[in-house]
Amino acid sequence: MLNISKRGNEMPSSPIRKLVPFAEAAKKKGTTVYHLNIGQPDIATPETILDAVRNSDFKVLEYSHSAGNESYRKKLVEYYQQVGIQVTAEQIIVTTGGSEAILFGFMACMDAGDEVIIPEPFYANYNGFAVEAGVIVKPITSSIESGFALPPIEDFEKAITPKTKAIVICNPNNPTGYLYSQEEMEVLKQIILKHNLFLFADEAYREFCYEGTHTSAMHLTGVEEHVVLMDTISKRYSACGGRIGAFVTKNQDLLNAAMKFAQARLSPPSFAQILGEAAVDLPANYFDTTKAEYKKRRDTIVSRLNAMEGVFCPNPGGAFYAMAKLPIDDSDTFCQWLLESFSHNNQTVMLAPATGFYSTPGLGKQEVRLAYVLNVERINKAMDCLEVALKEYPGRS
């Protein structure tokens, strides 16, 4: 009998995508499904950057440099300067989505059995990248009652062992939408300096901050050798299918190591680099409109949720996600029930159970993540469905 690898068996399913078959079955029955389960924006990808791809003129679709096209990396330097980050084109490796940047960081900084600390709940695929790299995730739990603020420094100290090599921070956070303050980032700086750790900063949602300002890990001083920025154009320009990201660090040894991984996968996608290069030249006010739209959606979904009996949803400061605590017994069962057994006016809503965003077993059973990537009208219809569903659900607690 042929056996699947231990790694293959340990690889977790996506909590965001595992309910897709139930959504597809609901649609086949004629039920409208409002997708609040996945961070796929409905905002149109800017026409000018799509035109850059459409109008590209070359005879051979060649490999790019393994670090990405030099012209794109130079454009990224311009972009980073606009957000107060000073780097050179040589300190950037263009990756196949932000996902590959995270994986490069895990592979280049840690050996099998090493540990990485991540405040939970966290982006579910960090678990998957850790399994791929043979790395052990040590979660530190943040609570919905505090709005998912950074856990106390003592909690980090307790989790650090001789095998700890890095901390991952996602700012603004997916799945909670929490925006870490400059003071919280300074706490992380203290920890990584004291214990000589890497700080992996996933800043996919940098542009979407609704209260306060964004403090990048690259804004921290005196930790240039420790910080690794993982970035992507997916959410920034509503270009998720482009699969283009960036691995950015001032640590030359780390760049050299990551470059070997980049060479092994040959090169990042060519058309998406053309798209990303054009995106840097979008008007300076491009994000003003999209941010205002997301803020309107956030305000709608948070107010609707908190008006429901037994529901609590902290107000997220960034990204386009909200975490809500519901009066239910089990979020996995509830989210499946919504698709399989429930409809309101022939409509239902698809949510992401929060259990998949926690590493600690048993947590998230009464929580769900909602991505406010639909317009206000559709969000209100989805909330109408959820409000009725919570009254009808057999496992209401």
Question: Whose CA is closest to 220, among 254, 178, 187?
Answer: 187
Cα torsion 355, 336, 179, 218 to 10°: value is 70
Architecture of domain 6-44+286-392: Alpha-Beta Complex (3.90)
Domain 47-279 has CATH 3.60.10.10: no
Query: Is residue 93 within 8 Å of residue 255, measured between CB atoms?
Result: yes
What kind and span of H or E run contains 137? strand 136-141
Residue 287 burial by Cβ neighbours in a 10 Å radius (0-12, 13-18, 19+): middle
Query: Is residue 201 within 8 Å of residue 226, measured between CB atoms?
Result: no
Residue 129 CA, chain-centre distance (Å), reads 13
pLDDT tier at 175, thresholds 50, 70, 90:
very high
**Structure confidence by residue, pLDDT tens digits, 348-378:** 999 999 999 999 999 999 999 999 999 999 9
Question: Whose CA is closest to 228, among 216, 213, 215?
Answer: 216
Query: Is residue 31 within 8 Å of residue 343, measured between CB atoms?
Result: yes
**Structure confidence by residue, pLDDT tens digits, 257-283:** 999 999 999 999 999 999 999 999 999
Q: Cα(200)–Cα(103) distance, rounded to whole angstroms?
A: 11
Domain boundaries, the chain: 6-44+286-392, 47-279
The pLDDT score that the predictor gives to residue 179 is: 98
Lowest mean pLDDT among 7-21, 50-64, 321-335, 361-375: 7-21
Q: Say which amino acid occupies 228.
A: V
Q: Cα(17)–Cα(32) distance, rounded to whole angstroms?
A: 18
Whether this model's pTM surpasses 0.85: yes
237 to 43, 46, 63, 108: CA distances (angstroms): 9, 7, 24, 28
The whole-number average pLDDT for the span 237-242 is 95
The pLDDT score that the predictor gives to residue 117 is: 98
